[in-house]
Amino acid sequence: MNYRTQMEAAKKGIITKEMLSVAAKEHIKEEKIRESVACGRVAIPANIKHKSLSPEGIGEGLRTKINVNLGISGDSIDYTREMEKVDLAIKFGVEAIMDLSNYGKTNTFRTQLISRSPAMIGTVPMYDAIGYLEKDLMDIKAADFLKVVEAHAEEGVDFMTIHAGINRRAVECFKRSKRLTNIVSRGGSLLFAWMEMTGNENPFYEYYDEFLEILREYDVTISLGDALRPGSINDSSDAGQLSELIELGNLTERAWERDVQVMVEGPGHMAINEIAANMTIQKRLCHGAPFYVLGPLVTDIAPGYDHITSAIGGAIAASSGADFLCYVTPAEHLRLPDLEDVKEGIVASKIAAHAADIAKGIPGAREIDNKMSDARRRIDWEEMFSYAIDGEKARAYFESAPPAERHTCSMCGKMCAMRTTNKILAGEKVEFCSENKQ
């Protein structure tokens, strides 16, 4: 193998087995995938040590991908339950899982996750630093952060969120902006605290080239974290968010120069009327790199329903250029999600992603909708359940109030519009009274 990363191979004109896999899944020519990886508009996160991976492409012209966050915290230490969430995510076909565990020694769970998951695996090394190193935040050195990143790469992590853009310039801009919700990124807030307490520059920014060398060795995709993403619609599109985005654009080019694949992370909370413009600005400032968004949540007043506020924003964001949606569950802002929360978050995100793919004209995106509509016309329930994103729920709803006649549902009964029209077009009469007497 005369290349280290997917990007290096693509630049050399080599089509890797991962590119072939992505091309087949996306119904796109292999050469087109190679060209997109070479210029950075598509990333294929695929750590050379992740042997169970089913490669996926993220970026321009491809299906919108979904990420599921999970992991333990100090208030909820149950690895078995988190692995059940993994199994659920795989069952629903999500393309990525991020292990955000932030308590104790997390490598055992992460190693098991990587060994069994066909989905790409992501982490935020900053979360793991304190538990892994067993040091207080202020006592951690730049070399320690490098050590954690290398440990995650060695384990087989496919992409890592690195908050390299929150440097001293971005911090000063944040302080001047007088935000309503300040910094809501967990990793960003920890780095901000470290910088303020030590008086040092962000180590991920200061030693960026050293981090890139580690990522390049294992072909880990860097996901440039948005430490200053808005945590309320009041703070969206402010100077802090945009100043960091400018830094991320520069860091994107520096990574590409070293053949490290890049994704760029985005908001956050944002009013509907700002979303499309933000997608355009990000793509411009970050040179077309794949864009990974959390939401955005389009209102701040729906705790318990933020999978819906996120799906609204995610559909708009993806149809306007975002490539990768991080799911949000009903438990967002309230607690660690349980299994049902995870399911609700996955389904909401899949709806948003699919709706956006239809709007973007992604090849084949409409086909399953057309199949569903045809099955509805024929009133074939089993076929409808097979096409549904959550067929089990659809079946349970239908069977909870079964109709007297199978070729209807309990809402319309024999007045079903499909049934009525089918009968007339077949040359039959529609006679409700006489049918009821029989």
Both 110 and 212 in one domain: the answer is: yes
Phi and psi for 113 in degrees, rounded to 5? -60, -50
Does 39 show up as a binding residue in the annotation? no
Residue 136 included in any domain = yes
Does 69 show up as a binding residue in the annotation? yes
CA distance 396 to 55: 33
Residue 23 included in any domain = no
Residue 8 included in any domain = no
Does 412 show up as a binding residue in the annotation? yes
pLDDT at 434: 62
pLDDT tens, per residue, the chain with 438 residues: 689 999 999 999 999 999 999 999 999 999 999 999 999 999 999 999 999 999 999 999 999 999 999 987 656 677 889 999 999 999 999 999 999 986 666 788 899 999 999 999 999 999 888 777 778 899 999 999 999 999 999 999 999 999 999 999 999 999 998 999 999 999 999 999 999 999 999 999 999 999 999 999 999 999 999 999 999 999 999 999 999 999 999 999 999 999 999 999 999 999 999 999 999 999 999 999 999 999 999 999 999 999 999 999 999 999 999 999 999 999 999 999 999 999 999 999 999 999 999 999 999 999 999 999 999 999 999 999 999 999 999 999 999 998 887 778 888 888 899 989 999 999 999 887 765 555
Report CA dihedral (256, 258, 261, 265) to the nearest 10 degrees: -60
Both 212 and 309 in one domain: the answer is: yes
Does 226 show up as a binding residue in the annotation? yes
Cβ-proximal residues to 435 (8 Å cutoff; 6+ apart), any chain: 414
Residue 38 included in any domain = no
Domain that holds residue 288: 48-360
Both 146 and 208 in one domain: the answer is: yes
CB 348 within 8 A of CB 389: no
Both 356 and 415 in one domain: the answer is: no
| Boundary of a domain, candidates 328, 360, 392 | 360
Both 235 and 95 in one domain: the answer is: yes
Does 63 show up as a binding residue in the annotation? no
Give the residue from 81, 123, 87 showing the smallest Cα distance to 106: 123
Does 98 show up as a binding residue in the annotation? yes
Angle, alpha carbons 31-283-152 (nearest 5°): 75
| Boundary of a domain, candidates 332, 360, 388 | 360
Does 287 show up as a binding residue in the annotation? no
| Boundary of a domain, candidates 360, 394, 426 | 360
Both 401 and 335 in one domain: the answer is: no
Both 162 and 215 in one domain: the answer is: yes
Which residues does residue 293 pair with via DSSP β-bridges, in sequence order?
266, 325
Both 356 and 433 in one domain: the answer is: no
Does 416 show up as a binding residue in the annotation? yes
Residue 144 included in any domain = yes
Q: Residue 342 belongs to a domain with what CATH number?
A: 3.20.20.540
How crowded is residue 361: how many other Cβ atoms within 10 Å of its Cβ? Answer: 9
| Total structural domains within the chain | 2
Both 392 and 339 in one domain: the answer is: no
Both 342 and 251 in one domain: the answer is: yes
Give the residue from 245, 176, 254 showing the smallest Cα distance to 212: 254
Do strands 221-224 and 159-162 pair parallel, antiparallel, or not at all (unpaired)?
A: parallel
Does 292 show up as a binding residue in the annotation? yes
Residue 275 included in any domain = yes
Cβ-proximal residues to 257 (8 Å cutoff; 6+ apart), any chain: none
Three-state secondary structure of the chain: CCCCCHHHHHHCCCCCHHHHHHHHHHCCCHHHHHHHHHCCCEECCCCCCCCCCCCCCEECCCCCEEEEEECCECCECCHHHHHHHHHHHHHCCCCEEEECCCCCCCHHHHHHHHHHCCCEEEECHHHHHHHHHCCCHHHCCHHHHHHHHHHHHHHCCCEEEECCCCCHHHHHHHHHHCCCCCCCCHHHHHHHHHHHHHCCCCHHHHCHHHHHHHHHHHCCEEEECCCCCCCCHHHCCCHHHHHHHHHHHHHHHHHHHCCCCEEEEECCECCHHHHHHHHHHHHHHCCCCCEEEECCECCCCCCCCHHHHHHHHHHHHHHCCCCEEECCCCCCCCCCCCHHHHHHHHHHHHHHHHHHHHHHCCCCCCHHHHHHHHHHHHCCHHHHHHHCCCHHHHHHHHHHCCCCCCCCCCCCHHHCHHHHHHHHHCCCCCCHHHHHHC
Tokens 């086909």, located at residue: 367
Does 419 show up as a binding residue in the annotation? no
b/e per residue 54-85 (b: at least 16 CB within 10 A): bbbbbbbbbbbbbbbbbbbeeeeeeeeebeeb
Both 348 and 403 in one domain: the answer is: no
Give the residue from 74, 53, 62 showing the smallest Cα distance to 33: 62
Does 53 show up as a binding residue in the annotation? no
Does 278 show up as a binding residue in the annotation? no
Does 163 show up as a binding residue in the annotation? yes
In this prediction the pTM is 0.94
Query: Which conformational region is residue 144 in: left (phi greater than 0), alpha (psi within -120 to 50 degrees), or beta?
Result: alpha
What is the crossing angle of helices 17-26 and 30-38, to 10°?
120
Does 436 show up as a binding residue in the annotation? no
- The tokens for 424 are 């007339």
Residue 29 included in any domain = no
Both 64 and 123 in one domain: the answer is: yes
Residue 371 included in any domain = no
